[in-house]
């Protein structure tokens, strides 16, 4: 065998080793980024609402939103905004829900201007259902004879 064959073989082998190392390194960074994101969500919510201990958190698939359930049953939302996170404790009547074809997605419209409306897609159907149940606990039913109630369609 010629020297050119061995040089080519070693070059290919070195390339494969470098690619494997980069892939391994990237996987480790993703795990640490996810942990860092979870920590920044907790910090953002705790700064805004120090007297509302978090009981459970569910992240959207893209990581742009995190819904939180507090110890007293309230629902919070932390949304990414550039390098910052905006924390909001949702009050009864703050949210309108619209149906979507995708079972992992819920479409929300907020009455507050500091909260971005949109589609919130979760990694699993169970997560979307859980957040929907949390929000149902935050709804305020209006009586049919209530003059302040919006007209029925």
pLDDT at 115: 81
Q: Assess if residue 64 is contained within a domain.
A: yes
Q: Assess if residue 143 is contained within a domain.
A: no
pLDDT at 78: 92
pTM of the entire structure? 0.66
Mean pLDDT, residues 131-143: 69
Q: Assess if residue 147 is contained within a domain.
A: no
pLDDT at 3: 76
pLDDT at 81: 77
pLDDT at 147: 53
Q: Assess if residue 34 is contained within a domain.
A: yes
Q: The domain that contains 57 carries what CATH number?
A: 2.30.29
Write out the residue range of the structural domain in which residue 124 sits: 3-136
Q: CA-to-CA distance for 15 and 5, rounded, in angstroms?
A: 15
Residue 111 or 83, more confident: 111
Q: What is the token pair recorded at 14?
A: 């070195």
- 67 band by pLDDT with thresholds 50, 70 and 90: very high
Each residue of 25-65: pLDDT tens digit?
666 554 444 444 678 888 899 999 999 999 999 999 888 89
Number of domains composing the chain: 1
Residue 68 has pLDDT above 80, yes or no: yes
pLDDT at 126: 92
Q: Assess if residue 8 is contained within a domain.
A: yes
Q: Assess if residue 44 is contained within a domain.
A: yes
């Amino acid at each position: 065998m010629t020297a050119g064959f061995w040089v080519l073989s070693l070059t290919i082998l070195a390339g494969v080793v470098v690619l494997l190392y980069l892939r391994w390194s990237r996987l480790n960074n993703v795990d640490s980024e996810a942990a860092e994101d979870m920590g920044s969500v907790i910090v953002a919510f705790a700064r805004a609402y120090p007297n509302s201990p978090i009981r459970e958190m569910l992240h959207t698939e893209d990581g742009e939103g995190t819904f939180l359930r507090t110890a007293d049953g309230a629902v919070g939302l932390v949304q990414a905004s550039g390098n910052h996170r905006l924390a909001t404790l949702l009050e009864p009547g703050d949210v309108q829900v619209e149906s979507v074809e995708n079972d992992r997605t819920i479409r929300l419209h907020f009455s507050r201007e500091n909260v971005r409306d949109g589609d919130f897609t979760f990694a699993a159907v169970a997560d979307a259902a859980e957040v929907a149940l949390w929000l149902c606990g935050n709804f305020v039913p209006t009586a049919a004879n209530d003059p302040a109630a919006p007209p029925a369609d």
